[in-house]
Structure 1
Amino acid sequence: MPVAPVLIVCGIALVDAFGGSGMFWLPLLAAGPALAASTNGPRGVLCVGFLATVLAATLGVREAGPGHETAAVLSALLAVTLASALASSLRGRRERVLDAVRSVAEAAQHAVLKPIPETVGPFRVAVRYSAAAAEARIGGDLYALVPTPHGVRLIVGDVRGKGLPAVEIAALVLGVFREAAYDEPDLLAVVARIERSLARNLGPDDFVTAIVVGHPRAGQLEVVNCGHAPPLLIQASGDVTAVEATRPAPPLGLRALVDEPPCLEILPFADGDQLLLYTDGVIEARDRAREFYPLAERVARHASGEPEHILSAVHDELLAHVGGRLHDDAALLLLRMQDVAEPGRAASQASETPRTRVTAASEPERAGRAAAVLASGLGR
C-alpha cells in the first residue's frame, strides 16, 4: 500500500480545498504517482494516480468549473501516472535481475570461500569477510582451512585487483592449495606448487600476497609469509605482537624476480594462544581524518573474549572507523588453540546459543549452481 504517496495527495488536496487559492495547488498532485514509482509496483502507481485524478477533477470543477485549465491539469496527471507506472515496471524488472545476480554471486563466493567450522582439530576458528563490492558480496580476498594428514593447514591471501578477474585468481589459488595441502608433507612444497600454478596462469602484472600456516605438531605453528601483512599473535596473557618474517619473500606469482625461496618460520603456539590473519583492506582502512585503522590496538581490547566475539567487535569497529562502507575487500581469520577444558565448554555454548557469524546462502542446490557458473566463467 503506497501510504506516503496517498498521504501527499490527500494533503495537497486539503490545502487546495481549504486554502482558497484556486487551482494553484492541483498540479502538485502529480507528485503522488511520481513518488509511488520509486517504492511501489505499477498497480500501486495507478491507484495513486487514479486518486489524484479524481481529486483534481472534483476540486477543479468546484473551483473553476469545466474548462481548459482543468483539462490541462487532468491531462498532466494522466501522463505522469502512465509514465510513472512504466518506470515502476522497469525498476521492478531491474531489481529482479539484480537479485538474481546477487544470488549467483553470493553462491559463487560460498563455493569458492567454503564455510569454515567453528572447531577444526585442536583449534577454534572465527572468520569475517566483507567485499568492497557490497552489492555483489564477492571480492579478491581468499581464505581456506583444511585438516590434512600433515596437520591443520590454512591460507589467507589477497589478490591484486578487484572484481571477477580477482575472483578467478582466488579460485585458482584455493583449488591448488586444497590439493597440495593434502599431498605435500612439507609446507614449503605447498607454497611452491601454488607458485608454479600461478606462474602458468597469471598475467605479467598480477600477483597474490598470502600467508600459509601449518600445525604439524603440538605447541607450534609453521608460517610462510609471501609478501603479506604480518599476522598478530595474541598470547594467553593478552599481549599482542606482530609475527614479522625474518626473511621477507615476494608475493606469489613474482618468484621469478628473486632467487631465494620463501622462509619457513616456526612459531610457538601454546594452549589459549590465538593467531589473527587478515588482509590489507583491514589495516589500510582510513577514517575521515585519513588515519589508518589501528588493528593491533583494537584487538588487544577484546583479546580476552571468545574468537567469534573478538572478530564481531573488531569488524563492527572497522566499519565504524570508515563510516560504514569499506573501499577494499577485508578478511579476518582468528585461530585459537583450545585449552584442555575448552572443547566441552565450546560444545555446550554451541548447543545453547546460535551462531552469530553472517554467512552466504548455504543451500546445496545454490552451491551446486554456483560451482557450475564459476566453472563456465573460468572456462571462458
Structure 2
Amino acid sequence: MDGFLTPQTILVGLLVLGPLLACVRLDTVRTAAVGAYAMVLCVLLGPVNDIWGTADHFLRLTILAISSGLAVYAAHVRTSRERALTTVARVAQEAILLPVSAQVGHIRVATRYRCASRDALVGGDLFDIAHTGQGVRVLIGDVRGKGLDATLSAARTLGSFRHAAYAESDLAGVARYLDTALAGHLGPEDFVTAAIAEFTPGRVTVVNCGHHPPLLLGDPVDLITPAEPDLPLGLGARPKPRTVKLQTGQRLLLYTDGLVEARDASGRMFELQEQVTLLRDFPSLDGALEDLLKRLDAHAHPALTDDDVALVLCEATGDTPP
C-alpha cells in the first residue's frame, strides 16, 4: 500500500500488528514466522518509502524486531498455559468418569464420551456403572448448562450415585437419593436429567428422570419409556420403575441428547431408529459405538450442533455373575 501513497505517508510501521495479532491465536513457531515475514517486508519497503539506510528505517526495524520478539514470547506463555490446562482437564475427566470394564457381572459394556467443544475434555454429560448385590446398575445423565458449573454438578451426581447404587435396595430409591442429594446444591433453574438401568438375569429395570428413553435392541426394537413422565433430578424426581425382559445377546443403548438432537444442514435431527441394525448386529460393542459416532459426524452440521455426547451400550451374556 505504501507504493500507492504519497512519500509523506509511511505505513510500514503497521507491520507490527502482524506478530501482535498472531500471538493471540497461533503457536510459537507460527508467530515467529509471521514476525520474520514482517521483518522482510519492512526491509523491502525501505526503498519504496525512500527511507532505506536512514535512522528512521533502522528505528522502524528495531521496533518491529522487539515487538516480534515479545509476540513470540507471549505466544510461548499462552501455549504453555493451554497445555497445562489441558492436562488438568484430562486429570479431572479421569477423576469424574472412571474407566469402565468391558464386562461387569453378566453384562458386556462399551462407553463413549465426547464434548461438543473439540478443545474441551469435560462437560455436563455423565455415566457410571456399579456391580451391586441387586444387579448391575448403570447411570447416564445430562446436567443442564455448560462450563465449570455443569462439570461440578456432574461430579456431585456421580459421587452420589456411587454411594446410592450400593446403599439403596431398589432402583427408585437410588433416584430419590440422587434427587435429594442434588436439590441442595443446584441453582433454582438447574437440574440433571437421568436414566438408571438395573440388569438382572433375564430382565432390565429402568427409572427415568426426564431423560431420553433407553433403546432396547430386541425384536421388536423398543424405547423403554416410563409409565408416567417424571421430573429431572433436583426438581423432586419420584420415578416409577419399568421392567422388561432381556434375553441373552440383546443390547441396550443409553445415550444423551447430543446424539438424537444433532441436526444436519437442513435442520433434520439424527434418526436413532435408522441405526438399529448397526447397534444390534455389529460384532463388537466398541466397534458399534465408533461407527455410530462416525455416522453422527457425517450427519451433524457444526453450526447446528452444540452438545456433549455420552453413550453406554450394554449386552446381556449367558454368564452367571460372580
> Structure 1-normalised TM-score?
0.71
* Paired AA for residue 327 in structure 1: D
Whether 1:303 and 2:303 are equivalent positions in the alignment is no
Please name the residue that 2:116 is paired with: 132
**3-state DSSP of counterpart to 2:314:** strand
C-alpha distance in 2 between matches for 1:87 and 1:183? 57
8 Å contact kept, 2:263–2:270: yes
Please name the residue that 2:131 is paired with: 147
- List aligned pairs for 1:187-336, cutoff 5 A: 187-215=171-199, 217-235=200-218, 239-255=220-236, 261-305=238-282, 306-323=284-301, 326-336=305-315
CA RMSD of aligned residues (A): 3.1
Distance of aligned partners of 1:42 and 1:284 in 2 relative to their CA distance in 1, 3 Å threshold: closer
Please name the residue that 2:317 is paired with: 338
Whether 1:98 and 2:82 are equivalent positions in the alignment is yes
C-alpha distance in 2 between matches for 1:184 and 1:309? 34
**3-state DSSP of counterpart to 1:267:** strand
Aligned residue pairs, count: 300
Question: How far does the alpha carbon of each residue in 1:201-260 deviate from its partner, in whole angstroms, 9 at most, with x for none?
Answer: 222211111001112x3100111011111111112x5x533111121211111227xxxx
8 Å contact kept, 1:42–1:86: no
C-alpha distance in 2 between matches for 1:178 and 1:313? 30
**3-state DSSP of counterpart to 1:69:** coil
Distance of aligned partners of 1:74 and 1:111 in 2 relative to their CA distance in 1, 3 Å threshold: same
* Paired AA for residue 246 in structure 1: A
C-alpha distance in 2 between matches for 1:290 and 1:42? 37
C-alpha distance in 1 between matches for 2:236 and 2:133? 28
Unmatched 5+ residue regions in structure 1? Answer: 1-26, 344-380
Unmatched 5+ residue regions in structure 2? Answer: 1-11
C-alpha distance in 1 between matches for 2:31 and 2:100? 45
Q: CA deviation at 1:320?
A: 2.2
8 Å contact kept, 2:31–2:72: no
Q: CA deviation at 1:69?
A: 3.3
Whether 1:121 and 2:134 are equivalent positions in the alignment is no
Q: CA deviation at 1:196?
A: 1.4
Identity score, percent: 37
* Paired AA for residue 223 in structure 1: V
C-alpha distance in 2 between matches for 1:105 and 1:149? 34
C-alpha distance in 2 between matches for 1:43 and 1:287? 36
- List aligned pairs for 1:13-24, cutoff 5 A: none
C-alpha distance in 2 between matches for 1:296 and 1:283? 10
Distance of aligned partners of 1:176 and 1:56 in 2 relative to their CA distance in 1, 3 Å threshold: closer
Please name the residue that 1:160 is paired with: 144
Distance of aligned partners of 1:51 and 1:321 in 2 relative to their CA distance in 1, 3 Å threshold: same
8 Å contact kept, 2:28–2:75: no
* Paired AA for residue 164 in structure 1: L
8 Å contact kept, 1:231–1:277: yes
Question: How far does the alpha carbon of each residue in 1:167-214 deviate from its partner, in whole angstroms, 9 at most, with x for none?
Answer: 111111111111111112211111111111122222221111100111
Q: As a proportion of its length, which structure holds more helix?
A: 1
Q: CA deviation at 1:75?
A: 4.3
